[in-house]
Amino acid sequence: MELDKILAISKKPGLFKLITQSRGGFIAESLIDQKRLSVSISNNVSVLSEIAIYTLNEELPLKDVFLKIFEKEKGQDTSTSPKASKDDLEAYFFSVLPNYDEDRVYPSDIKKVLNWYNLLNKHKLLDFKTEASSTEEEE
């Protein structure tokens, strides 16, 4: 899974795959409807590989959070809807990541993580089995 090619663009729904760089920014393709758009450098863009979730001990990379959800759900979509109530979202996230920092991780953040996980899972961009086997081969 290459989260360094997956982008979250503020004020745009869903996630985007980086296609190529352009003169004033880059071209990205929506994972929702496969439409391409030009994104200028002035837009607020986050690369998923650089996002982390606050825990009581450290910041856990988003990739590791996705792995925990993937293991809990056995490769399926999340059992709790991203549109669930605040209490349901927090209970679900607590079951996935028991030591997440409740003061710094808001329900809106949990909703985004679940939406992103489901979207990446739908497009088969969460391939943890391949990474685990390649890590074992290296050892």
Q: Both tokens of residue 57?
A: 């001990």
Matching residue, tokens 């880059």: 26
Q: Which residue type sits at 87?
A: D
pLDDT digits (tens, 9 = 90+) for 39-98: 998 889 999 999 999 999 999 999 999 999 999 999 899 999 999 999 999 999 999 999
Contacts of 103 (CB under 8 A, 6+ apart): none
Q: Is the pLDDT of residue 138 over 90?
A: no
pLDDT digits (tens, 9 = 90+) for 87-137: 999 999 999 999 999 999 999 999 999 999 999 999 998 877 654 444 444
**Helix, strand, coil abundance in the chain, percent, nearest 5:** 40, 25, 35
Nearest to 78 by CA among 59, 60, 106, 97: 97
Nearest to 13 by CA among 111, 127, 124, 122: 111
Q: Report the pLDDT value the prediction gives residue 136, as an integer from 0 to 100.
A: 44
Nearest to 47 by CA among 28, 34, 69: 28
**What domains can you pick out in the chain, each with its CATH number?**
3-48 (2.30.30), 51-138 (1.10.10.1650)
